[in-house]
Chain A
Amino acid sequence: MSLSTALKTGDVTALPSRRDEDWRWTDLRGLIRVLPEPAPKFDGEVAAGPFAGLADGEILFVNGRHVATSGQGDVLALRFVAATDKASQAASYAVVVEPGASLTLLESHEGRAAGYISDVSLDIAVGEGASLTRIVLVEDDAEAVDVVTARVELGAGASFAQTVLTSGARRQRIETHVAHPGAHAQARLDGIYLLNGQRHADQTTVVTHDGVDGVTSQLTKGMVADQARGVFQGRIIVQPGADQTDARMGHHALILSDKAEIDAKPELLIFADDVACAHGNTIGALDEEAVFYARQRGIPELEARAMLTQAFVGEVVERIEHAGAREIAAAWVAKQLGREE
Chain B
Amino acid sequence: MLKIENLHARVEDKPILKGVTLEVPAGEVHAIMGPNGAGKSTLSYVLSGRGGYEVTEGTASLNGEDLLSLEPNERAAKGVFLSFQYPLEIPGVPALTFIRTAVNAQRRARGEDEIAAPAFLKLAKEKAASLKIDFEMLKRGLNVGFSGGEKKRMEIFQMAMLSPKFLILDETDSGLDIDALKIVSEGVNALRSPERGMLVITHYQRLLDYIKPDRVHVLAAGRIVASGGPELALQLEAEGYDKYVGAAA
In the bound complex, residues from chain A placing their C-beta under 8 Å from that of B92 are 310-312, 314-315
Contact check: which of B49, B51, B91, B98 meets A297 at CB < 8 Å?
B98
B76 within 8 A of partner (CB): yes
B226 within 8 A of partner (CB): no
How far is B141's CA from A315's CA once the two chains are assembled, in angstroms?
A: 12
Contact check: which of A292, A300, A308 meets B105 at CB < 8 Å?
A300
B238 within 8 A of partner (CB): no
In the bound complex, residues from chain B placing their C-beta under 8 Å from that of A301 are 71, 73
A283 within 8 A of partner (CB): no
Mask: chain B, 75-87; 1 = CB below 8 Å from A; 0 = not? 1110001101001
In the bound complex, residues from chain B placing their C-beta under 8 Å from that of A290 are 88, 90
B101 within 8 A of partner (CB): yes
A95 within 8 A of partner (CB): no
Chain A nearest CB, measured from B143 CB (Å): 9
B137 within 8 A of partner (CB): no
B158 within 8 A of partner (CB): yes
In the bound complex, residues from chain A placing their C-beta under 8 Å from that of B59 are none
Chain A nearest CB, measured from B97 CB (Å): 8
Chain A nearest CB, measured from B202 CB (Å): 19
Chain B nearest CB, measured from A92 CB (Å): 38
B72 within 8 A of partner (CB): yes
Which of B98, B158, B162 gathers most chain A CB within 10 Å? B98
A295 touches B72 (CB 8 A): yes
In the bound complex, residues from chain A placing their C-beta under 8 Å from that of B48 are 296
B72 touches A303 (CB 8 A): no
In the bound complex, residues from chain B placing their C-beta under 8 Å from that of A296 are 48-50, 72-73, 75-76, 81-82, 84
Chain B nearest CB, measured from A284 CB (Å): 14
A311 touches B91 (CB 8 A): yes
- Asked, given contacts A299-B73, A312-B92, A314-B92, whether A294 binds B98 with beta carbons under 8 Å apart, the answer is yes
In the bound complex, residues from chain B placing their C-beta under 8 Å from that of A43 are none
How far is B81's CA from A123's CA once the two chains are assembled, in angstroms?
A: 57
In the bound complex, residues from chain A placing their C-beta under 8 Å from that of B82 are 296
Mask: chain A, 308-329; 1 = CB below 8 Å from B; 0 = not? 1011101100000000000000
Chain A nearest CB, measured from B139 CB (Å): 14
In the bound complex, residues from chain B placing their C-beta under 8 Å from that of A312 are 92
B90 touches A299 (CB 8 A): no
B180 within 8 A of partner (CB): no
How far is B94's CA from A311's CA once the two chains are assembled, in angstroms?
A: 9
Chain B nearest CB, measured from A190 CB (Å): 15
In the bound complex, residues from chain A placing their C-beta under 8 Å from that of B90 are 290, 293-294, 308, 311
A299 touches B102 (CB 8 A): yes
B93 within 8 A of partner (CB): yes
Chain A nearest CB, measured from B51 CB (Å): 7
How far is B105's CA from A300's CA once the two chains are assembled, in angstroms?
A: 7
In the bound complex, residues from chain B placing their C-beta under 8 Å from that of A295 are 49, 71-73, 76
B102 touches A294 (CB 8 A): yes
B72 touches A292 (CB 8 A): yes
Given contacts A296-B82, A300-B105, 19 further A-B contacts (CB under 8 A): A287-B88, A289-B88, A293-B84, A294-B90, A294-B102, A295-B73, A296-B50, A297-B76, A297-B162, A298-B77, A298-B106, A299-B101, A299-B102, A300-B109, A301-B73, A303-B105, A307-B101, A308-B90, A315-B92
Lowest 5 CB-CB distances: which A-B pairs, in order? A311-B92, A298-B76, A298-B106, A297-B102, A295-B72
> What are 27 contact pairs spanning A and B, CB under 8 A?
A287-B88, A288-B51, A289-B88, A294-B90, A294-B98, A294-B102, A296-B50, A296-B72, A296-B76, A296-B81, A296-B82, A297-B99, A297-B158, A297-B162, A298-B73, A298-B103, A298-B109, A299-B105, A300-B73, A300-B105, A304-B73, A307-B98, A307-B101, A308-B90, A308-B93, A311-B92, A314-B92
Using a CB–CB distance below 8 Å, which chain B residues touch chain A? Answer: 48-51, 71-73, 75-77, 81-82, 84, 87-88, 90-93, 98-99, 101-103, 105-106, 109, 141, 158, 162
